[in-house]
Amino acid sequence: MKLKTLEMTLQKLSGFEKPRAALEQYQTPAPLAARLLYDALMQGDISGKVVCDLGSGTGVLAIGASLLGASVVKAVEIDAGAVAVAEKNAALVGAEVSFIIADVREADIADRVGPCDTGVMNPPFGAQKAHADRPFIDCALAVAPVTYGIFNAGSIPFVTAYTEGRARIAAITGGSFPIRRTFAFHTRDVQEIEVEILRLERIPK
């Protein structure tokens, strides 16, 4: 599947019905999601691989990974309502995803997810709750040797320090994330958030 086709397919997916601010529920825009997945595909990390999406929301990344030929896609999401939307989205475009309704902070989360080849995620940036992205990074490193994540621009120093001795970080690409007015505290109709896609490569113990 071509990048443009992937992007157009992901564009068809429904978003959060009632987005919850505390969970930082923002759907990754199709162009950014397609970009992350295509970069991962080109690195040999999607096709024929076991992929997990942490905080899968309405399923954009998980569904895209399936469409690009992942052999198994597991998607972990705390909000059952979002999973219901994601299941409909997967059916709409013929993607196969196994959803796991769980909190990435659960002690046995790595066992529940099982070993994967590749992680993908757009974790909460910690705008509502500081450090909300840490358990996502921990979970990703526990289950997969390589993870592609979307972070706020300027996160490299934090992610590098937080994963010191556990992962090497490579910046894949920057981008921007248009956030439409979703919550009462949003003051503009659309706000562009600068983000970067990072590749976290686990350092073997």
By CB under 6 A, name the binding residues for ligand SAH.
23-28, 55-58, 60-61, 76-79, 82, 103-105, 122, 124
- What is d(CA 56, CA 16) in angstroms, rounded to the nearest whole number? 11
Of the CA atoms within 13 Å of residue 175, those in its CB half-sphere come to: 21
Q: Which amino acid is at 123?
A: P
* Residue 204 CB, nearest approach to ligand SAH (Å): 26
Contact 115, 143 (CB under 8 A): yes
Q: List the structure tokens of 95.
A: 């993607």
Torsion of CA 96, 61, 64, 192, to 10 degrees: 150
Nearer to ligand SAH, 105 or 112 (CB): 105
Q: Of 118 and 122, which has the nearer Cβ to ligand SAH?
A: 122
Cβ proximity to ligand SAH, 23 vs 141, nearer residue = 23
Tell me the closest approach of the beta carbon of residue 70 to ligand SAH, in angstroms. Answer: 15
Rounded least distance, CB 52 to ligand SAH, Å: 11
> Running DSSP on this structure, what letter comes out for residue 46?
S
| Residue with smaller CB distance to ligand SAH, 83 or 169 | 83
- In whole angstroms, the minimum distance from the beta carbon of 5 to ligand SAH comes to 19
DSSP structural state of residue 149: E
